[in-house]
Structure 1
């Protein structure tokens, strides 16, 4: 049974959906301002320094835990359907992950749609990864993570790095990844009533904004279900049981396994989209982050 503390996220999502329904004329600036409050449900992790940096021309934010091993790094991509969210809305969540793992996290503020269409976000994340490598951090000491659209970027940045001929990171940990721009997962329908945020209409709106008119929904760097997933680093996918994007995770995991890859997959019952935002306030989020750390630390040599 879900903890009472976990209900806070669902209530926030309900408020946002109601606000957007009541105000269909909301500007993008107003919408983005609302989503900057995502981190309001996250406890301040403490003992973390935040440092703004420009990585290969891409604005980023370091979240550096006290006594973290600075020869290792996490590359983090925020969610928000490629339209909203930022390094600031997600800083506390990624800082909790960085503290649990014991190394700094570089949170990428990639350019967002609709002003900047696909593939700009994945290129920005790959540019930031290339910058990390140029800082002398070895690829076997770098892992990726991200949530929702950022969960997709935790996959597609690996693919883009491979396309560029870059050495690949040691692992990737997509959280509630959005892997299907065609919106064909069965849970988009079966979990519609339980997911308090990611409704079909929301997915349609965000995918159209991301791809632009006539965009290719089967592009592997937008829908990684169509990608060649062979010879990639290990993945650890986490998702909530009440999410409409549950099938996006399931099918990606199946595709990795079919390609002969290593993947760990955990479904957290009754949890909402990116319940990790409840870090420090709900036991389910703290457990999921502890699970991530236990999985990735040996891979990073920590």
Structure 2
């Protein structure tokens, strides 16, 4: 059944229309919201809030009583996406992990180019700590550009002398905005969503003429030493495959505890398709266990 699900998903993604003329940013945002957005799962309460000076969604599964909180940064090439488009994915992850999640609406390019998104990610993380969240009770996550942004936020927090969280997960992270990974080209036929030009356009809007190799833009090139345990999940059928593979290798070389999972025949951020793709459900279950392991491993907070 899983093979049939993968093939059906690939066909569905390839059937989505591509405009002959480049869509406007607003058209991209509305199209993404319509095509990707899923509501929070049943039993997950959703509340609007503010974190780090930015609007955010708080997603709380029914019956949550234990330790643990998730800070999530959504994907969308730094240009599209929002906590609303990711309420389903983040809510489902929070439900399976049994923890409270907060998804932040960081500022988007081109209206707000780098470093606005990073400033917002760091401000959200800092406010959680200042509000009394023990970093040992905190996990972080993100997908695609949000995965790269989570990594950059951790690097910025480390440089600011802030304590780091118990663990981090990234789905199909966009960690190299120089687009130097071989899979950017070698996986273009296999990827049902992106071609190289799509990523280049997003990078142009986010970074402009800035240095795309600097570590807070492309955390792949950073010294990753000291980062928390990291789980990287990626599909084999995506142009960003090598971002994930190289990230895991560099993290391991920096003595970071890292797990890399490559899903055969799977597209970019396949976890969005939980409930209709067996591999997505299994992947989110593994993330939940990963969070539980590292939250349980931390000493109980005395705060």
Instruction: Identify the match of residue 29 of structure 1 among 13, 26, 34.
Output: 26
> 1:59-78 deviations in whole A, cap 9, x for unaligned?
11011101124642111011
Structure 1 residue 58 corresponds to structure 2 residue 30: no
2: CA distance, partners of 1:72 / 1:45: 19
Identify the residue that residue 91 of structure 1 maps to in structure 2. 87
Change (3 A) 1:233 1:174: same
**Alignment of structure 1 residues 92-131 onto 2, 5 Å:** 92-131=88-127
Question: What is the CA–CA distance in structure 1 between the aligned matches of 2:91 and 2:68, rounded to whole Å?
Answer: 14
SS in 2 for 1:60: strand
- Residue matched to 1:163: 159
Q: In structure 2, what is the equivalent of residue 236 of structure 1?
A: 231
State whether residues 219 and 226 of structure 1, in contact with CA within 8 Å, keep that contact through their aligned partners in structure 2: yes
Q: What displacement does 1:23 show?
A: 3.3
Q: Name the TM-score, length of structure 2 as normaliser.
A: 0.93
Unaligned runs of 5+ in 2: 298-303
Alignment match, 2:219? 224
Q: CA deviation at 1:11?
A: 4.4
Aligned residue in 2 for 1:282: 277
* DSSP-derived class of the 1:81 partner: coil
SS at match of 1:124: helix
Measured in 1, the distance between the counterparts of 2:30 and 2:44 equals: 24
Q: Distance in 1 between matches of 2:293 and 2:18?
A: 44
1:79–1:149: 8 Å Cα contact kept in structure 2? yes
* 1:123-164 deviations in Å (ceiling 9; x for gaps): 101111112112321101111111000111121111111122
For 1:11 and 1:85, locate their aligned partners in 2 and report how far apart those are by CA, in whole Å.
23
Task: Tell me, yes or no, if structure 1 residue 300 matches structure 2 residue 282.
Answer: no
The 2-side partners of 1:218 and 1:195 are apart by: 24
Asked if structure 2 preserves the Cα contact closer than 8 Å seen for 1:39 and 1:92, the reply is no
Question: Is there any run of 5+ residues in structure 1 with no aligned partner, and where?
Answer: none
Q: 1:66 to 1:195 in 2, by over 3 A?
A: same
Greater relative CO, 1 or 2 (CA 8 Å, sep 6+): 1
* Structure 1: distance between partners of 2:9 and 2:139: 27
What residue in structure 2 maps to residue 4 of structure 1? 4
- Structure 1 counterpart of 2:265, from 256, 267, 270: 270
**What CA RMSD, in Å, does the superposition of the two structures yield over aligned residues?**
1.7
CA distance in 1, matches of 2:187, 2:212: 22
Give me the whole-angstrom Cα distance separating, in 1, the residues matched to 2:168 and 2:157. Answer: 13
Aligned to 1:245: 240
Post-superposition shift, 1:272?
A: 0.4
State the aligned residue count. Answer: 297
